[in-house]
């Protein structure tokens, strides 16, 4: 059997979005699973809308997800000659012809067909005129007749009537640039593609492309069309459903392996297994597992997969990621400090961004730490402040701030006072973190350290005293 060759051919008119990333991943896995080659091709023939920045952004997205390519990136903009050679061949063999109809005339033809209750299409009026090249002339492909059938890797047997699906479509614009269907067939054939897995939105292009393969004498590859991704409102996924670019998920603090694991499950399954390592995926990915019904993008699910991978990650890796997300918040910290903080959040963190936001109080200056006004009001009433003053005195006398020492001291404090632990827990928490939520109190105090904890308690008490004075 010949080597399997798959490809990802994005148009650099936008970022690498969720749907594109999933297509890239499926093709990458197909190649990796079968010891094949994965080709990256940038379809930048739409020069008005394609930019090098977008190309770079797509490459960055692929690299972030760990989708490496064996060949490319090829640029379609550098391959015009190949397309022209193919167009010449089609003209010579009578599969294509020049057409002088103006866009207005073609619009009128379509309108007429519509009015007669027929499919809007080009009526073939220049087919037999034997025109040569000339100003304003496009090249059209002579649509075949009969049935176009293929076994789709996802949808099973498909057959369509050419007359229904394909008119004499343009393969070269009047300005000389090739159209997508022509360029994609020339590239896929010349680059040796054996399997083409892409979005269902390209289903109507497939009969045109199969006709072109046949007219050009190329072998027709296997095709597979994966259903679109929907939002949870059952509408096609769009910006309304959240971020579209995969790199935005990186900014939101998702791990690439979580993203890959989530994306692969959008339309592919292997029994009821949910979590797959990359090796497992390469070991078991197959087209039989591809679903022919639409997939639903579910942010909650993505978050739970991400939480799983955060739990699995090493402290060192999370320290690096946390550092990067803290920098986005304008906070820098020593890695040793972060290594103490990470384990407090790792068991429950949903994203690295959340972790950064939640742990920032550890790293902020004592003098500028912000206090949640509601938390202050609720948990630092005058009686609580009195208790807190006593706690502060007791904490100051401790020989160290080890968790065990803190645990014993705080427990014996509440026992002697005959009060519940809750009476002091929230006042201490609000005073040292500025917030009403934090990891366990002992752990928090331990990681903050004695000096900072005491300084913060003093500042909270002082702020309360100032507030009381103002109100008096």
With CB under 6 A as the contact rule, the residue among 4, 5, 6, 11 that binds ligand GLU is 11
- Nearest distance, CB of residue 140 and ligand GLU, angstroms: 20
d(CA 23, CA 67): 11
d(CA 334, CA 343): 15
- Nearest distance, CB of residue 11 and ligand GLU, angstroms: 4
With CB under 6 A as the contact rule, the residue among 4, 43, 369, 448 that binds ligand GLU is 43
Span near ligand GLU by CB under 6 A; candidates 3-11, 234-242, 322-330, 461-469: 3-11
Per annotation, catalytic residue among 239, 337, 450, 452: 239
Span near ligand GLU by CB under 6 A; candidates 8-16, 53-61, 382-390, 397-405: 8-16
- Nearest distance, CB of residue 121 and ligand GLU, angstroms: 22
State the Rg of the chain over Cα.
Answer: 32
Task: Determine, following the binding rule CB under 6 A, whether residue 127 of this chain makes contact with ligand GLU.
Answer: no
Span near ligand GLU by CB under 6 A; candidates 7-15, 100-108, 312-320, 380-388: 7-15
Our measurement of the distance from residue 328's CA atom to the centroid of its chain's CA atoms, rounded to an integer in Å, reads: 19
Residues 169-188 that bind ligand GLU (CB under 6 A): 184
CB nearer to ligand GLU: pick between 12 and 256: 12
- Nearest distance, CB of residue 373 and ligand GLU, angstroms: 50
Total residues in contact with ligand GLU, by rule CB under 6 A: 7
CB nearer to ligand GLU: pick between 20 and 144: 20
Whether 408 sits among the annotated catalytic residues: the reply is no
Residues 230-289 that bind ligand GLU (CB under 6 A): none
Residue 76 near residue 40 (C-beta atoms within 8 A): no
With CB under 6 A as the contact rule, the residue among 4, 5, 6, 9 that binds ligand GLU is 9
Task: Determine, following the binding rule CB under 6 A, whether residue 79 of this chain makes contact with ligand GLU.
Answer: no
- Nearest distance, CB of residue 335 and ligand GLU, angstroms: 41
Binding residues: 239
Q: What are phi and psi of 150, to 5 degrees?
A: -150, 160
Residue 213 near residue 185 (C-beta atoms within 8 A): yes
CB nearer to ligand GLU: pick between 49 and 317: 49
d(CA 205, CA 346): 47
CB nearer to ligand GLU: pick between 40 and 281: 40
Span near ligand GLU by CB under 6 A; candidates 6-14, 65-73, 248-256, 396-404: 6-14
Site mask, ligand GLU, residues 359-398, x = CB under 6 A? ----------------------------------------
- Nearest distance, CB of residue 183 and ligand GLU, angstroms: 9
CB nearer to ligand GLU: pick between 10 and 144: 10
Task: Determine, following the binding rule CB under 6 A, whether residue 10 of this chain makes contact with ligand GLU.
Answer: yes
Cα distances from 5 to residues 136, 192, 193, 340, in angstroms, run 38, 7, 5, 47
Binding residues for ATP: 239
Task: Determine, following the binding rule CB under 6 A, whether residue 198 of this chain makes contact with ligand GLU.
Answer: yes
With CB under 6 A as the contact rule, the residue among 110, 202, 236, 392 that binds ligand GLU is 202
Task: Determine, following the binding rule CB under 6 A, whether residue 423 of this chain makes contact with ligand GLU.
Answer: no
Catalytic sites, residue numbers = 239
Q: Interface residues with ligand GLU (CB under 6 A)?
A: 9-11, 43, 184, 198, 202
């Amino acid at each position: 059997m010949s080597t399997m060759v798959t490809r990802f051919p994005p148009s650099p008119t936008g970022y690498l979005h969720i749907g594109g990333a999933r297509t890239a991943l499926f093709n990458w896995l197909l190649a990796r699973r079968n010891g094949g080659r994965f080709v990256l091709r940038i379809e930048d023939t739409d020069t008005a809308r394609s930019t090098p920045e977008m190309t770079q952004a797509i490459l960055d997205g692929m690299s972030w997800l760990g989708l490496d390519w064996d060949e490319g990136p090829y640029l379609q903009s550098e391959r015009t000659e190949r397309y022209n050679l193919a167009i010449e061949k089609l003209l010579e063999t009578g599969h294509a012809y020049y057409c002088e109809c103006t866009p207005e005339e073609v619009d009128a033809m379509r309108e007429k067909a519509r009015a007669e209750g027929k499919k809007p299409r080009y009526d073939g009026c220049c087919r037999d005129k034997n025109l040569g090249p000339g100003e304003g002339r496009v090249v059209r492909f002579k649509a075949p007749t009969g049935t176009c059938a293929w076994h789709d890797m996802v949808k099973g047997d498909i057959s369509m009537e050419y007359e229904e699906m394909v008119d004499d479509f343009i393969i070269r614009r009047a300005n000389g640039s090739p159209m997508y269907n022509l360029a994609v067939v020339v590239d896929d054939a010349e680059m040796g593609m054996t399997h083409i897995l892409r979005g269902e939105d390209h289903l109507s292009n497939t009969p045109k492309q199969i006709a072109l393969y046949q007219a050009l004498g190329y072998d027709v590859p296997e095709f597979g069309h994966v259903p679109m991704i929907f939002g949870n409102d059952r509408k096609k996924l769009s910006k309304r459903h959240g971020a579209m670019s995969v790199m935005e998920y990186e900014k939101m603090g998702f791990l690439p392996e979580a993203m890959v694991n989530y994306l692969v499950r959008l339309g592919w399954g292997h029994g009821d297994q949910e979590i797959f390592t990359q090796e497992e995926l390469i070991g078991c990915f197959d087209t039989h597992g591809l679903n022919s019904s639409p997939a639903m993008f579910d942010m909650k699910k993505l978050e739970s997969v991400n939480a799983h991978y955060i739990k699995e990650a090493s402290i060192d890796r999370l320290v690096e990621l946390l550092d990067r997300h803290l920098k986005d918040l304008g906070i820098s910290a020593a890695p040793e400090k972060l290594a103490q903080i990470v384990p407090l959040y790792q068991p429950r963190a949903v994203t690295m961004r959340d972790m950064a936001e939640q742990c920032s109080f550890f790293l902020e200056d004592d003098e500028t730490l912000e206090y949640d006004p509601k938390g202050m009001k609720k948990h630092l009433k005058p009686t609580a402040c009195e208790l807190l003053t006593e706690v502060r005195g007791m904490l100051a006398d401790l020989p160290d701030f080890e968790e065990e020492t803190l645990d014993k001291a705080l427990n014996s404090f509440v026992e002697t006072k005959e009060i519940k632990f809750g009476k002091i827990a929230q006042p201490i928490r609000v005073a040292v973190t500025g917030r009403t939520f934090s990891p366990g109190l002992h752990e928090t105090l331990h990681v903050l350290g004695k000096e900072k904890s005491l300084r913060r308690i003093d500042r909270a008490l002082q702020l309360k005293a100032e507030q009381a004075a103002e109100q008096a």
